[in-house]
Structure 1
């Protein structure tokens, strides 16, 4: 079981890192080559949504890296409090940026901006990633995980959300 968990965590952190790098490559080198995409890629709202997505993916990369490092040392506990405080800060900053993103979305709707669908796609992806990490687990990668999800018939809290709850209960105990 130890090797299986270690491999899964390694794959999660590498997958998030590769996705972050690949998305940045596509954004800055591939999409601008297309005449019809270059308009959308170069707008401030779309760039802000993309930066939010990249930041959240980097947070996921860091989280899975830290969990992998822990398991490598045979430590299956929650992350240390300092790391959890950092992720709590990330969660609050994400919420602020998502709020700003909603205001931008309202602005784009009011002005009938052409890039609104591209913005909704990128911003929506960022919001779903935030939810997946900090609230409810939305991604199920293996057939076993999908089968377990279907048997439960309900969404479960994400691993990070559970760990962040532990620091809140520790504070109330003091």
Structure 2
């Protein structure tokens, strides 16, 4: 789990930086926009952001009965397990 956490920590920095670098590159070279390719890349980018949110902040996927019952009862998303673990670690240090 630690390896996955470290991976996504650094990956998040890349996810934030990638659109900025892309726009700088496009403005510098003034290339024609490949719309179909941008739509595919944009979709993959959006899925990556959702995966990050699902992994570190809120549980976005509910695929079993207890999770569905919780969602229907409380009408809110669960906190991600890794987020809970990080909170426990922080509380242990304080």
What TM-score range do you get, normalising by the shorter chain?
Answer: 0.7 to 0.9
> Is 1:164 paired with 2:81?
no
For normalisation by structure 1, the TM-score amounts to: 0.43
Aligned residue pairs total: 89
Over 3 Å counting, the alpha-carbon distance change for 1:160 and 1:90 in structure 2 is: same
Which whole-Å CA distance do the structure 2 matches of 1:170 and 1:87 have between them? 21
Which structure has more RCO (C-alpha within 8 Å, separation ≥ 6)?
1
Runs of 4+, deviation exceeding 6 Å:
none
Q: Unaligned stretches of 5+ in structure 1? A: 1-62, 64-82
Q: Deviations over 1:71-100 (max 9, x none)?
A: xxxxxxxxxxxx3xx455334212211112
Gap change, CA 1:125 and 1:109, over 3 Å in 2: farther
Q: Which has the higher helix share?
A: 1
TM-score normalised by L of structure 2: 0.74
Unaligned 5+ runs, structure 2: none
